[in-house]
Structure formats: C-alpha cells, structure tokens
Amino acid sequence: MPFDHRSAPVESQLSDKEIVMRHFIDLYLHIPDGFLSTPIALVGWVIMVVLVAAALRQTRGQLGDKQVPLMGVLAAFIFAAQAINFPVAGGTSGHLLGGTLAAIILGPWAAVLIMTSVVAVQAFIFQDGGLLALGFNVVNMGILTAFTGHLTYQLLKRLLGEGRISVLIAGAVGAWLSVMVGAVATAIELALSGASPLGVALPAMAGVHILIGLGEALITVGALAFIYATRRDLLNIGEAAPGKAGAGWVAVGLGIALAAAVFSPLASGDPDGLNRVAADLGFDGRALDPVYEIFSGYSIPFITEGNVSKIVAVGVGTFVVFGIAFFAARLQKRASA
C-alpha cells in the first residue's frame, strides 16, 4: 500500500525583501527563463544530461557507496559557503561559486555532481536561474567551472612542482579562469539566442567577471590554505580521481573550441567553409520554419553579417567539437581500462 506524504506543515515565513536580497547576490551567471532561445536551451539540457550521467558513473567507481552522503553534504557545504562573503569595494562583496574548489578536493566528476545539485536547487527553490535555462546554467556554473579549474590546477601543479605555494597558485589561477570561462560561455549562449549581441555581452560579462573571478580566486586560495594546513590528505582525493585523463581531453577540447568561438570574429578573411556550414544549418538569416522565427532577421549592425554567421557556426561547432572530445575521451578510457 503506497504511503502518502504530501504537504509538510508550514515553517517560517520569508519576507519579500529577504528573498529579493538573496537573489540579487547571485545574479550574474544564473540565466533566467526567456533569455535563451528554445533550441539553445535544449542543447544545454542535452549537454547537461550526458555529462551528469557520465559523472554519476565515474563517481560511483571512485567513491563507492559513500558517493551519496559525501557529495550530498559537500553540496550543502558549497551552498552554505556561497553565502560567506567579504567586502570588496563600495558596498559590493566577493563570494564563492565553488566549482574549482570542489574539483580540487574531489576531482572534476564529483564536482560536476555537487555543482549540479547546487545550481538545480537554486533554480527550483529560489528561482535563481530558470528551469528551461537550467541546462546551460549547470553547464556554465557546474561543468565548465569544474573542468577548467581542475585542468588548470593539475597543469600548473605539474609545472610548479609540489608544495604549498604551488597548490595555492594553481588553485588561484584555476578559480579565476573557471569564472571567466563560465562568464564567456554565458555571453555566447545569450548571443546565440539573440538576447544580446556578442559585441556587447562578451565584453560586459568578461569585464565584470575579471573582478568576480578575483574574489573567487582569493576565497579558493584561503580555503585551500586552510585545508592544506589541517588535512592535506583531503586534497589528494581529487588527484586520484579516475577518469582524470578523460577529463583532460574534454576540457582541452572544450577550451579550444570556446577560444575559437570567441576569437573567430576577430579573424580576418571569410573562409568559405564556415559560411557554407552556416548556410547549411540555416543560420545565415534566411527565413526559416516559424518555430525558429527568432533567427530570421538576426543581424547586428556592429558586426558584419558574414562574421555573425561565422560566430553562430563556430558556436555550434564548439559543441560538436566538445561532443567529439568527450566521446574520444570515453573511448580512450575504455581502451586503457
């Protein structure tokens, strides 16, 4: 006989002002519904689903039956830690996003799950970020940050050698970069959706997040210093995470692809190949199926039409490359297993 557990009794009442205050802090990277076009939002969902499924498999192998309590409580930690802030300047404060820190401690795949939980709960309970937009919000804040932070950290540590300073520098750079990558990705997604021209979104998001990334770096370093001093062994869990090689390939692939997407408008010349791809995909501004009406008439006066097609095409290409890198990593891992 099934049980019935609905509607738990009321708890506290939160005033409207308190809710607004809370949301205002978390604004920058949480895309609300309405700003991403439907196709883009759905692409984000697909990427999220695929990578979260991979993360579940990886962490099961890595952590065994401690998987759930460990990641659950650490997700709670990230959530609570995001509320710890410190004054930066003129009434603003810096605080933690946490993808890099989680990836350094537990490895990138566990970090993906932890951050996915945090971002999802923020969306469902606090309406921080939309539900259709949840896919890319998770990708930007949970997946890109975890892998960027992890890869940067590992790379720099290998370059700088063992020791406390190496850990702190690698962590700082990883944290800052992870925020930048998340911000750039958000800008690209907004541009591809037609909500904001790339020429505006990119400098705005990147510019703002240079400082936010600095805050992330500082807190991450502070946390790493504390953990290094008290329980250094905890930092090794992330090192031993299996699938590290796979993560590296994924991150490299994604990084290259994103860099290409970002810098492609600046490249001179008009390779026919890319325009052809754009035309084939129907992104060159021709009138399309009414469902995709948003794309018709899509052009930006600041950037010529040819370059716009390129941006869009390369943006789509980003995710194709990403997909290839991911599957290549999986094949490689399977081969070496």
Partner 1 sequence: MHHTIEVHDLRFKYPDGHEALMGVSLHIEPGEKVALVGPNGAGKSTLMLHLNGILPSENGNVKVCGLPVHKDTLGKVRAAVGLVFQDPDDQLFSPTVFEDVAFGPLHMGVAETEVRQRVDAALAAVGMSAYLQRVSHHLSVGEKKRIAIATVLSMNPEILVLDEPSAGLDPRARRGLINLLRDLPQTMLVSTHDLRLVEEVFPRTVIMDQGRVAADGPTEHILSDAALLTAHGLEI
Partner 2 sequence: MLHIDLADHARHGSSRVHRLDPRVKVIATLLFILTASLLPSGAWLSFVFLFLATLVVASQTGLGITYALRRSFVALPFALAAITLPFTVPGPAIAQFGPLTLSADGTIRFLSLLIKSWLSVQIALMMTATTAFADLLWALRELRVPRPLISIVSFMYRYMFVLADESLRLTRARASRSAAGAGRTGGGLIWRGKVAGGLVGNLALRAFERSERVYNAMLARGFQGELKTLTPPALTDTDRNTLVGWVTFLAMVGLMGFIF
Q: In whole angstroms, give the CA distance from residue 256 to residue 273.
A: 19
Choice between 11 and 162, CB closer to partner 1: 11
Choice between 15 and 268, CB closer to partner 1: 15
Q: Is 7 in the site for partner 1 (CB under 8 A)?
A: yes
Contact 291, 34 (CB under 8 A): no
Closest CB 4 distance from partner 1, rounded Å:
10
Using the contact rule CB under 8 A, the part of the chain among 176-184, 219-227, 264-272, 317-325 near partner 2 is 219-227
Tell which residue, 318, 313, 233, has the closest CA to residue 265. 313
Q: In whole angstroms, give the CA distance from residue 209 to residue 229.
A: 29
Tell which residue, 159, 154, 181, 177, has the closest CA to residue 235. 154
Choice between 272 and 289, CB closer to partner 2: 289
Closest CB 272 distance from partner 2, rounded Å:
26
Using the contact rule CB under 8 A, the part of the chain among 2-10, 31-39, 116-124, 126-134 near partner 1 is 2-10
Which residues, 201 to 240, sit near partner 1 by CB under 8 A?
Answer: none
Quick note: the x/- pattern for partner 1 over 54-93, rule CB under 8 A, is ---------------x------------------------
Residue 165: alpha-carbon gap to chain centroid? 27
- Cβ-proximal residues to 63 (8 Å cutoff; 6+ apart), any chain: 70, 71, 110
Choice between 12 and 336, CB closer to partner 1: 12
Question: Which option in partner 1, partner 2, none does residue 92 bind, with CB closer than 5 to 8 A by kind?
Answer: none
Q: Is 56 helix (H, G, I), strand (E, B) or coil?
A: helix
The pair phi, psi for residue 174, each rounded to 5°, is -60, -45
Question: Which option in partner 2, partner 1, none does residue 202 bind, with CB closer than 5 to 8 A by kind?
Answer: none
Using the contact rule CB under 8 A, the part of the chain among 1-9, 45-53, 108-116, 287-295 near partner 1 is 1-9
- Using CB under 8 A, pick the residue from 77, 169, 275, 279 that binds partner 2: 77
Closest CB 69 distance from partner 1, rounded Å:
7
Q: In whole angstroms, give the CA distance from residue 17 to residue 26.
A: 15
Q: Is 7 in the site for partner 2 (CB under 8 A)?
A: yes
SS3 content of the chain, % helix, strand, coil (to 5): 75, 5, 25
Closest CB 6 distance from partner 1, rounded Å:
8
Which residues, 11 to 30, sit near partner 1 by CB under 8 A?
Answer: 11-12
For residue 254, the one-letter residue type is L
Q: In whole angstroms, give the CA distance from residue 306 to residue 265.
A: 9
- Cβ-proximal residues to 248 (8 Å cutoff; 6+ apart), any chain: 151, 154, 329
Which residues, 9 to 28, sit near partner 2 by CB under 8 A?
Answer: 9-14, 16, 18-24, 27
Q: In whole angstroms, give the CA distance from residue 245 to residue 109.
A: 12
- Using CB under 8 A, pick the residue from 51, 54, 96, 146 that binds partner 2: 96
Q: Which residues bind partner 1 (CB under 8 A)?
A: 1-3, 5, 7-9, 11-12, 69
